[in-house]
């Protein structure tokens, strides 16, 4: 983080030093560090601000199914039934305020043999990137308290849409949380039907892939749950198992 900030500041100083003697160079020196910082804030695969796991180490045909934005009273029970019927395990990255409304669903996820992880307290998609250090801490701590009340001590976190924050890395370290990204995602709101979503999330499937899907009303009704059903079916056809990897298996 500090290296990126130093580069950004150095670019601004250099731009001022060049000044009017070379306007094009000054503009480049002023804007290029901003573009670099924006890349590390907004591009999910970036690693400069927060080390983010995008796959896990395995020699077997295994994938990690992760489901964001729950728990949802309509979707979560159906997803748990699908996973149980398939013998699959998954990680649910839950939003704290939703978990507070549905603690029974959190307990049901755990009872089903799955993992519950953090996805912030309020899912501040538009403002997480510019949140203060104090707000980042509140988003983490409030969600952790909700999950503790349900008997869960989470160790993993996924930021909204994979967007980073300047203060996120130290906040995660202080709380013993690792940041989890993905290898492929369904992009449920990008268009198409459940089959198209399943195709996107399984594109380039390989052992150790982290697959991202969503639950809840933000997902179109025709896709909700059905996309997960199709992904599970296709993984079964390809002889893949859905597992939750150990911490030492995670890789950037």
DSSP calls for 220-240: -TTTTTHHHHHHHHHHHHTT-
How large is the angle between the packed helices 75-86 and 226-237, nearest 10 degrees?
Answer: 10
- Over 80: is that where the pLDDT of 15 sits? no
| Range(s) of the chain covered by CATH 3.20.20.370 | 52-251
Q: Which CATH number fits domain 52-251: 3.20.20.370, 3.30.70.20, 3.40.50.150, 3.90.1330.10?
A: 3.20.20.370
What pLDDT, in 10s, does the model give residues 188-232?
A: 888 789 999 999 999 989 999 999 999 999 899 889 899 999 999
Confidence band, pLDDT 50/70/90 cuts, at residue 46: confident
Higher pLDDT, 144 or 224: 144
**Residue of higher predicted confidence among 20 and 163:** 163
Is there a contact between 88 and 242 (Cβ–Cβ < 8 Å)? yes
Taking residues 88-117, what's their average pLDDT? 97
Q: What Å distances lie between residue 225 and 46, 113, 162, CA to CA?
A: 29, 19, 22
CA distance 11 to 26: 9
Which pLDDT score, from 0 to 100, does residue 13 have? 40
Mean pLDDT of 131-152: 96
State the average pLDDT over residues 71-98: 97
214 flagged as catalytic: yes
Whether the predicted pLDDT of 148 surpasses 90: yes
In tens, the pLDDT along 28-39 reads 433 455 566 677
What is residue 105's predicted lDDT score, i.e. its pLDDT? Answer: 97
pLDDT on residue 35: 61
List 68, 72, 75, 86, catalytic entry:
68
The helix (H) or strand (E) run that includes residue 8 is: helix 2-18
Q: What value does the mean pLDDT of the chain take?
A: 87
Give the per-residue pLDDT at 33.
56
Residue 36: per-residue pLDDT: 62
Average pLDDT over residues 38-58: 87
CA separation, residue 70 to residues 77, 93, 106, 112, 216 (Å): 11, 7, 9, 15, 6
Set 114, 119, 123, 214: catalytic member: 214
d(CA 73, CA 225) in angstroms, rounded, equals 12
Instruction: Please give the model's pTM, rounded to 2 decimal places.
Output: 0.87
More confident residue, 49 or 17: 49
Neighbours of 200 (CB within 10 A): 17
């Amino acid at each position: 983080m500090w290296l990126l900030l130093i580069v950004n500041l150095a670019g601004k100083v250099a731009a001022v030093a060049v000044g009017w003697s070379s306007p094009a160079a000054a503009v480049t020196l002023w804007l290029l560090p901003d573009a670099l910082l924006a890349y590390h804030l907004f591009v999910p695969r970036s690693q400069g601000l927060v080390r983010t796991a995008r796959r896990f180490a395995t020699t077997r045909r295994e994938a990690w199914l992760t489901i964001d934005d729950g728990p949802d009273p309509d979707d979560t029970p159906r997803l748990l039934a699908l996973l149980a019927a398939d013998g699959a395990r998954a990680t649910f990255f839950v939003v704290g305020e939703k978990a507070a409304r549905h603690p029974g669903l959190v307990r049901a996820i755990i009872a089903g043999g799955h993992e519950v992880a953090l996805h912030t307290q309020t899912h501040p998609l538009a403002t997480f990137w510019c949140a203060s250090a104090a707000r980042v801490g509140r988003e983490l701590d409030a969600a952790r308290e909700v999950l503790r009340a349900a008997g869960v001590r989470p160790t993993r976190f996924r930021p909204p849409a994979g967007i980073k924050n300047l203060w996120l890395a130290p906040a995660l370290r202080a709380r013993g949380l690792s940041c989890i990204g993905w290898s492929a995602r369904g992009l449920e709101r990008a268009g198409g039907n459940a089959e198209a979503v399943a195709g996107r999330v399984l594109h380039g499937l390989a052992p150790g892939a982290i697959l991202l899907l969503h639950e809840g009303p933000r997902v179109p009704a025709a896709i909700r749950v059905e996309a997960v059903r199709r992904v599970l079916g296709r993984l079964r056809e390809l002889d893949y198992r859905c597992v939750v990897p150990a911490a030492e298996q995670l890789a950037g």
